Every structure is written in structure tokens, then in C-alpha cells.
Amino acid sequence: MSAMNEHFGVTDLMDAAPAWAYTYPMIVIISGTNRPGSNTRKVTTHVAAIYQKLGVATQVLDLAELPPELFAPTAYAEKPAGFKKFTDAILASDGVVIVTPEYNGGIPGILKYFIDMLPFPESFEQRPVCFTGLAMGIWGALRPVEQLQAIFGYRNAFIYPERVFMPGIGKLLDAQGQFVTGDIPKRLEAQATGFVSFVEKLRGKKLH
């Protein structure tokens, strides 16, 4: 592939071509909050790098980049043009990885809203999904991940059972956003390797 853009291996044709035009395998990784400078985005960067190391093309969807027009009440009936690249990425994906923090014992409102705004049912119908959670507390976003499993079960997605939880995330990352121990990266690598195999078996094709 040539002309790689900043989103870890997707060509610059992403904004121009419809979802059905994508023929190469791809994993979409969702950074599940729009909070500026979030730990979620830092972890998402690590996850994307792991898939790239495995030779898998990825597209990172950062919810901080959602168009403001999406939050107008009229968006339920007519999505703004700036949302198309998000929809196209999901529809073109072979699998979706969601990195979610825990806000007040649940998933961020922006993440649920994002899911609600995507086309139904085709966005997640029989699409493989994988979950990674992080939190300041001791459970590492167990509750929001379980909530997401319920939502995606309702959406008839194929849920990959191996989850990664990161409790005390503030102590796991240094000031530069790097993990201070090798345990979490190893777990993320194992999850990614397993998810790639899971997706390949379900899709009947190689991702790399």
C-alpha cells in the first residue's frame, strides 16, 4: 500500500471512496472518548501499533474528531457529511476493536451516542468485535466492557471473548504515555494475535 495517512495504514482514498470499494483487510480501532489528552487515546495508539506490527492495516477512529453537527437533533434523520468517513470505516472493517474508559461506572456517553448514530443493523451485524478497558479504579473498566458486550450482543456482533482490563491506568502510563511495565503490552499483544485469528476464521481470509 502507498500514500499511508496518519491513521496507521489506510490509504488517502478513505475519504473519497464508498465503503463497498475497500477490498483490503482492515481492523478499525475506536478510541472511546472525546476527552482531550485522554489515556484512552494513548492506549489506542499502542493497540494500533501492535496490529501494525502484526502486518494488519488499521484505521483509528478518534471520537474527539466527530463533527460538531452530529450532536444536533436533526442528525438522527440526516447525518452530517463529516460523519461519512466514520460510517465508511466501520462498514469496510473486517473487525472492530473498542478501547473504552469507565465514566461513572459505565461507558462514556459519547461512545454510546456514536454507536447509536451508525447505520442499523449493518454496522455490527455479524461483525467481529473486541474490547479493551481502562480505568483509574481497581476493576479496569469491567463494567463498561460488560455493558458493551450486552449492546453488541443485541446488535448480533461476533464477540471475541478475550478482554483486557487495565486498573489504575494512571499508574500504568508514564508522562510520555508509555507503559511502565511489560505486562500490559504482552496482554494486548496476545489479545491482538488472538483477535486476528478469530477474524480470519470468521471472514475466511487473511488479514496480513
Q: CA-CA distance, 190 to 73, in Å (whole number)? A: 41
Domains of the chain: 23-203 (3.40.50.360)
pLDDT at 156: 98
Place of cell 490509504: 11
Q: What is the 3-state secondary structure (H, E, C) of the chain?
A: CCCECCCCCCEHHHHCCCHHHCCCCCEEEEECCCCCCCHHHHHHHHHHHHHHHCCCCEEEEEHHHCCHHHHCHHHHCCCCHHHHHHHHHHHHCCEEEEEEECECCECCHHHHHHHHHCCCCCCCCCCEEEEEEECCCCCCCHHHHHHHHHHHHHCCCEECCCCEEECCHHHHECCCCCECCCHHHHHHHHHHHHHHHHHHHHHCCCCC
Give the residue among 164, 163, 151 at the shortest CA–CA distance from 118: 151
Q: What is the pLDDT of residues 92-148, one digit of tens each?
A: 999 999 999 999 999 999 999 999 999 999 999 999 999 999 999 999 999 999 999
Q: What is the pLDDT of residues 142-185, one digit of tens each?
A: 999 999 999 999 999 999 999 999 999 999 999 999 999 889 99
In terms of pTM, does the model score above 0.95? no
Q: What is the pLDDT of residues 13-32, one digit of tens each?
A: 344 444 434 457 899 999 99
Backbone angles phi, psi at 42, to 5 degrees: -65, -45
